[in-house]
Amino acid sequence: MIHQIIAQKVTTALKELYSTELKPGEIAIQKTRREFEGDITVVVFPITRYAKKSPQETADEIGQYLVNSVDEVEKHSVIKGFLNLTIANAYWHQFLKQNYTNERFGYKDLQDGDPVVIEYSSPNTNKPLHLGHIRNNLLGWSVAEILKANGKAVKKVNLVNDRGIHICKSMLAWQKWGEGETPESTGMKGDHLIGKYYVMFDKAYKEEIRQLMDQGLTDKEAAQQSELLQEAQDLLRKWEQGDQETVELWKSMNLWAYDGFDKTYERLGVDFDKIYYESETYLLGRDLVKEGLEKGLLVKKEDGSVWADLTDKKLDEKLLLRKDGTSVYMTQDLGTAQLRHDDFHPENMIYVVGNEQNYHFDVLRIILKKLGKEWADKIYHLSYGMVELPQGKMKSREGTVVDADDLLDEMYETAKRTTRELGKIEEFTGDEAKQLYNMVGLAALKYFILKVDPKKNMLFNPEESIDFNGNTGSFIQYTYARIQSVLRKAADVGVSADDDYQSEDLNEKENNLLKNLHDFPLTVEEAGKEYSPAQIANYTFEICKEFNQFYHDHSILKAETQDKVHMRLKLSVLTGKVIRNAMKLLGIDVPTRM
């Protein structure tokens, strides 16, 4: 690619002009801003210390050297110490001819090295997946695919939070009010049935608290005297002690949840290489805590609870084991991290978890380092913002969440209604139409969520996500289908993109489109460095806008010369491949007809 060529040639120029040895990676190169002439910009300021000349003189000398000695460089200009290079048309035509048949354009081959482990989803088995989980799953899966496209070996893992007070609340509610009902007897998905009892517990608990406060207790005193909460805590203790009846109920209800999760994952198109369970990892975490206590690295208080003293890091103390010996979330995360390191010896361990857990992961790294785990520095928290709805935040306990399955159903129906209204299913069979509705609905959901920078909070509005003219998955799908229609028409009249052509000057629209397509590998690389599917999404939207402007202004099959026809067909083929490969990284399918 031209950026690598220029970086290499600039290092040669520095050696010959200033007797300076630099590596290509030390040369700052970027795309020239649109308001200036040129294609590639070399930032000269860091080089002036070697040239011992002004930025203007240094840039001009390097630019003249490149024009004289590098075939790809046609001319140069200097703007305040920035060296702008214009790349010859011959390079762009050669790039097009070499890459329009490249099915993996933008992707790197698998490189040697330790894998990157990325954890996402991490559901609780007391409720179904909701809109927040959807952002988590889509973000984690997409980042994994982007890292693969950058040549990384990737292990996608899920940690199921299958133990703790939350699942005991659902279990207790089922024991009290379930009357033996099951997913089979009710026709409900297992995760939905369990979620029903989680909400039921919360409503009963709040009513109990209200009654206790009416008797004159404070909210804290009422919580301490709550019989429901005490019963749930008793269930947790029984579970940790291995009580057979409690464990059997726990196993049954968790199996209901797993089956429900799997159905939702399949609809979303996400998968995992390995699933960890908190019920298995918390014991290892507890062992690590006991080992740290024996070494004097942790502190046991008079009530028997175990803490990590982090005051030397200007933080407070962190509870690791309660006074009754039961574990907390941090305990199981210590065990999970250790197990994951032992399983994969990874290059990095990425946790896709909402930004409300920023402090948790800071503390996790610090405690692991305190326990002598130097690999703790490999932990990276991919912190993402919350998803909100027009009516405000979601609350699982109150049953006000947007259920993932319900949302998927709504997206399908919205896609069905919109595509019918716009007349985009003419000549489709019934099954083909259903497939298109599903494809459009999923694309609308995934793109709307992934186009937002992961760090930002977002407002999700299903009605806005399906628009064939805006920055949406539907618009991108329609552009891809338009390209495929052009290629079918070309085949009908016996014209092929494989026909060669003589290089011609590129008009403005051709030039802009081709050069932006050239940037796709760099975009994939940058998205991998930043763990940001949003960069892929918004790049693809810009490509689609460029193609549609080109398509609107210039005929492809009726171009003024046959060379132009063949060149524009190649340009269309490469655009289609970039759209398809980019959308694949977001988990979005593109239809050949719409």
Residue 58 and residue 56: Cα distance in Å, rounded?
Answer: 6
pLDDT tens by residue, 186-243: 999 999 999 999 999 999 999 999 999 999 999 999 999 999 999 999 999 899 899 9
- Pairing type for strands 82-87 and 274-277 reads unpaired
% residues pLDDT > 70 (the chain): 98
The DSSP element (H or E) to which 156 belongs, if any, is strand 154-160
Q: What is the pLDDT of residue 96?
A: 97
Residue 295 tokens read as: 């070494």
> Three-state DSSP class for 561?
coil
Helices in 400-450 by DSSP H: which ranges? 404-421, 430-450
pLDDT tens by residue, 391-415: 644 444 444 568 899 889 989 998 9
Q: What angle do CA 458, 584, 529 make, to 5 degrees?
A: 65
Residue 366 and residue 372: Cα distance in Å, rounded?
Answer: 10
pLDDT beyond 80 at 560 = yes
Q: What is the pLDDT of residue 1?
A: 86
Q: What is the pLDDT of residue 423?
A: 77
Q: How much is the average pLDDT of 133-155?
A: 97
Residue 139 tokens read as: 């973000």
Q: What is the pLDDT of residue 400?
A: 54
Half-sphere exposure of 105 (CA within 13 A, CB side): 22
Rg over alpha carbons for the chain, rounded to the nearest Å, is: 29
Residue type, 541: F
Q: Are 226 and 172 in contact (CB under 8 A)?
A: no
- Sheet architecture: strand order including 306-309: 299-300, 306-309, 317-321
pLDDT beyond 70 at 594 = yes
The domain defined by 120-388 carries CATH number 3.30.230.10: no
DSSP assigned state of 353: E
Q: What is the pLDDT of residue 296?
A: 95
Q: What is the pTM of this model?
A: 0.92
DSSP assigned state of 384: E
Q: How much is the average pLDDT of 537-546?
A: 97
pLDDT tens by residue, 449-484: 999 999 999 888 777 777 777 899 999 999 999 999
Between 483 and 49, residue with greater pLDDT: 483
pLDDT beyond 50 at 378 = yes
Phi, psi values for residue 322, rounded to 5°: -70, 170
Q: What is the pLDDT of residue 387?
A: 85
Q: Establish whether domains 2-87 and 408-585 are of one fold.
A: no
First vs last Cα of the chain: how many Å apart?
34
Burial 114-128 (b: 16+ CB within 10 A, else e): ebbbbbbbbbbbbbb
User: For the chain, which residues make up each domain, given as ranges?
Assistant: 2-87, 120-388, 408-585
In which band, very low, low, confident or very high, does the pLDDT at 583 lie, cut at 50, 70 and 90?
very high
Q: What is the pLDDT of residue 501?
A: 94
pLDDT tens by residue, 302-337: 999 999 999 999 899 999 998 888 778 899 899 999
Q: Kindly report the CATH class assigned to 2-87.
A: alpha beta
CB atoms < 10 A from the CB of 209, how many?
Answer: 18
pLDDT beyond 50 at 143 = yes
CATH homologous superfamily of 408-585 equals: Isoleucyl-tRNA Synthetase; Domain 1 (1.10.730.10)
Half-sphere exposure of 149 (CA within 13 A, CB side): 31
Q: What is the pLDDT of residue 394?
A: 40
What's the whole-number average pLDDT of the chain? 93
Beta bridge partners of 276: 159
Check the CA dihedral 86-92-95-101 and report its sign: positive
pLDDT beyond 70 at 279 = yes
Q: Is 437 exposed, middle or buried (0-12, 13-18, 19+ CB in 10 A)?
A: buried
Q: What angle do CA 134, 135, 136 make, to 5 degrees?
A: 90
DSSP assigned state of 179: T
Q: Are 573 and 100 in contact (CB under 8 A)?
A: yes
